[in-house]
Structure 1
Amino acid sequence: MTKGYALTVDPELRDLRAADHLLLRLAAELALPDGAFGCTHLLRGDRPRVALSFTWPTEPLLRTAREALTGQGYEVCDGVPDAVGRAVAYPGSAALTGTLTIAELLDRSGIDRVTVLGAAEPPRPDTRLMTRDHVRPHWQDGSLVLSAMPAVGGTLVPFEVPDPTPCCADH
């Protein structure tokens, strides 16, 4: 994950979508500055759930956020739960809407690279990505990486869909 000053909030949520909504609400309340990240982390074990982490570029911002979050009743701890968080709020994330080329995506955001499922090579810079206004890269070995998959007409889409169908929805 990115270097900086981090803290984790465990809101005891089991639903990734609810965690995304809470993270984005808290990010807005905390007015995350440029260079800050908000990620979700899947916590396994006897109580599977989704934790939230925030990373700021400076320590005073961390102190202010800790005070605000504990003031709202959240239990907060230092650091991040793991090094493979799923970025929800990150530099440039709000600008990743509509259809962009890979070059535009990388230029406009904190994403370091794009991989395509089943492909040995990265996509060409002029390859179009239909964002579906839902771009959730993951941290891999210190880099923010978006996994994409082929779509209609030689385009790509992010691997994660915005509105997944819950397991067993039709039973």
Structure 2
Amino acid sequence: MSGLETEKARARQAALRARAACDPALGAALARHVLRECRPPPDAIVAGFWPLPGEIDILPLLHALARTGQRLCLPVTPPRGQPLSFRRWQPGAALLPGRFGTQHPDGDTLVPDFLLVPLLAFDAAGNRLGYGGGYYDRTLAALPGAFRLGCAFGAQEMPQVPVGATDLPMHAVAT
């Protein structure tokens, strides 16, 4: 393991401990904050994510955006080494089981231009730490024009996230 990988592994453990103390129900507050401060443009295709256990619940935000007619999609986790793809989603749509405990819809494939990105940790510069699979790193690189809004609990902020050459920062982080 390289020095950066070791540093990221330690940071992930600290982030998981911090996140475990948070209330996933804070998703309603996150929805209000995003809708007030960083609402996606009406014509944007917004990529959300189905929250994994312990992640902030962005479903209230996705439901609020759906009520305004926003086009939404959720990621499909491909085999390792590939970027995520995104399928059209609306509240109530059936979800299929995916890799790593994820769930995704079976809708049309869409290319998002506004990404809601799950964060394991983040810093004031918008740097993010994920789970280490590189899926969002590859996806963000494949969608360079997309707006990147990280979603996390405030307790997940770190003074400095270890950053590698392929790590792209968020444009903003909502907590």
- TM-score of the superposed pair, with normalisation by structure 2: 0.25
Which one has the bigger helix percentage?
Answer: 2
Which one has the bigger strand percentage?
Answer: 1
- TM-score of the superposed pair, with normalisation by structure 1: 0.25
